């Protein structure tokens, strides 16, 4: 079949349509990297899709659950329990104020159920120190500003042991039972002595002297005595009185 020559004007119309389609496709086509590089900086517009901010929906223990783009994940942190926080507080570490309040509230609520059980007024001067007996849970040793000591068993009213002090100027700053012999007391006195005495009031040993001892404690495992004075000194001694 022989090809029929088409008129020139129809050829021009088809060519014009072809150029129009190419122009449309060129307008839709994304510019490549080289074309972007050749454009002036004023025409370069970088659009970054803003991500949805993460939303914290809860707090559990030491971690937090976060929602990000509809996906839940657990932000891993150091896991802690109430026991860890109490232990950390015992070691002197800082705990969060909110958790501290949670620890205190149950105790404060229980105070409403407390009632006065028993009282005693054995001294004519103020009480300066207290120490529970290590083997008798109902017995407490109480020291006064006049140097007096009383062993008070709050379950047996007739069972008391009173040790007379020296009077004014003999204020007891601290007392501790001996961990090896519970019938002996380490006494930090206002007269500047750190001594060991029995429950009869007899001083068995004067361990150390200073201007004014304010506190004392005893380590049973190290067999050592530590004491502090009123000018900021802390002294570690053996039970025989030698400085360590």
Catalogue all structural domains in the chain, each as residue range(s) with its CATH number. Answer: 127-212 (2.40.10)
Tell me the mean pLDDT in the region 8-35.
54
How big is the CA angle at 89 (ends 174 and 238), to the nearest 5 degrees? 40
Strands 160-163, 172-177: pairing is: unpaired
| pLDDT beyond 60 at 121 | yes
pTM for the predicted model, two decimal places: 0.53
Side-chain half-sphere exposure of 150, counting CA atoms within 13 A: 19
Give, rounded to a whole angstrom, the gap between the first and last alpha carbons of the chain. Answer: 123
pLDDT tens per residue, range 148-202 = 898 988 888 777 788 888 887 778 889 999 888 888 899 988 888 888 888 887 8
Among 19, 21, 105, 99, smallest CA distance to 62 is for 99
Strand order across the beta sheet in which 127-132 lies: 127-132, 139-144, 149-153, 160-163
């Amino acid at each position: 079949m022989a090809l029929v020559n088409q008129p020139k004007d129809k050829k021009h119309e088809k060519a014009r349509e072809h150029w129009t389609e190419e122009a449309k496709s060129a307008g839709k086509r994304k510019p490549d990297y080289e074309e972007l590089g050749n454009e002036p900086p004023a025409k370069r517009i970088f659009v970054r899709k803003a991500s949805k901010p993460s939303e914290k929906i809860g707090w559990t223990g030491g971690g937090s659950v976060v929602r990000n783009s509809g996906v839940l994940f657990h932000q891993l942190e150091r896991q802690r329990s109430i026991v860890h926080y109490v232990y950390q507080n015992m070691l002197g570490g800082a705990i969060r104020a909110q958790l501290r309040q949670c620890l205190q509230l149950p105790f404060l609520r229980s105070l409403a159920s407390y009632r006065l059980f028993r009282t005693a007024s054995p001294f004519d001067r103020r009480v300066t120190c207290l120490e529970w007996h290590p083997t008798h849970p109902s017995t407490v040793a109480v020291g006064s500003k006049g140097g007096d000591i009383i062993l008070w068993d709050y379950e047996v009213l007739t069972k008391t042991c009173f040790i007379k002090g020296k009077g004014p100027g003999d204020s007891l700053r601290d007392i501790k039972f001996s961990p090896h012999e519970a019938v002996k007391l380490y006494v930090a006195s206002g007269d500047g002595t750190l001594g060991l005495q029995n429950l009869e009031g007899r001083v068995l040993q004067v361990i150390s002297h200073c201007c004014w001892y304010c506190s004392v404690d005893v380590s049973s495992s190290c067999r050592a005595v530590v004491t502090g004075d009123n000018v900021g000194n802390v002294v570690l001694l053996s039970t025989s009185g030698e400085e360590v």
